[in-house]
Amino acid sequence: MKYTALLFVLLLSGCIIADSSHVLVGKSRPAIDISQVKIYSSPPKQFEEIALVESTAAHDFQDDQALVDEAIRRLKMEAAKLGANGVLIALVGSENGPSSTVYVPTGNGYGTFITDSNKGKVAKGKAIYVIEE
């Protein structure tokens, strides 16, 4: 029973919960490798809008920077699927969802409570195709 609780805690500590989505506002292109997608904080000279993209990354046991990195990676991944070679960042911020508490029995009639506050980061932007000059 002790090992079950330990395994449960280890599983909770190792996985970042992440998601991404898009809304097409232009024409998608063939998918490209994520390594070809660049992040822009200001608009490049010439580009075409492909989609609005959003991603989230959450976990109680990860630091804020790791969650931001994962949210940005997910934005790039979503953009790459659409053939966008850039993401024009609109927002990177915090997201706090509802909390939940789970009781984990540790044996001998004892247990522990683990609270998941769904601490997370969100990133939003535009998937764009930058036209090389």
pLDDT in tens, the chain (133 residues): 444 444 444 444 456 787 888 899 999 999 999 999 999 999 999 999 999 999 988 876 778 888 889 999 999 999 999 999 999 999 888 866 544 444 555 556 565 555 555 578 889 999 999 998 5
* Centroid of chain to Cα 131: 27
Alpha-carbon span 56 to 17, nearest angstrom:
8
pTM metric for this prediction: 0.71
| 22-27-33-36 Cα dihedral, nearest 10 degrees | -100
Q: Which CATH code fits 19-97+116-130?
A: 3.30.110.70
Tell me the three state secondary structure of residue 59.
coil
Q: Where are the domains of the chain?
A: 19-97+116-130
Please give the helix or strand (H or E) that residue 125 lies within, else none: strand 119-130
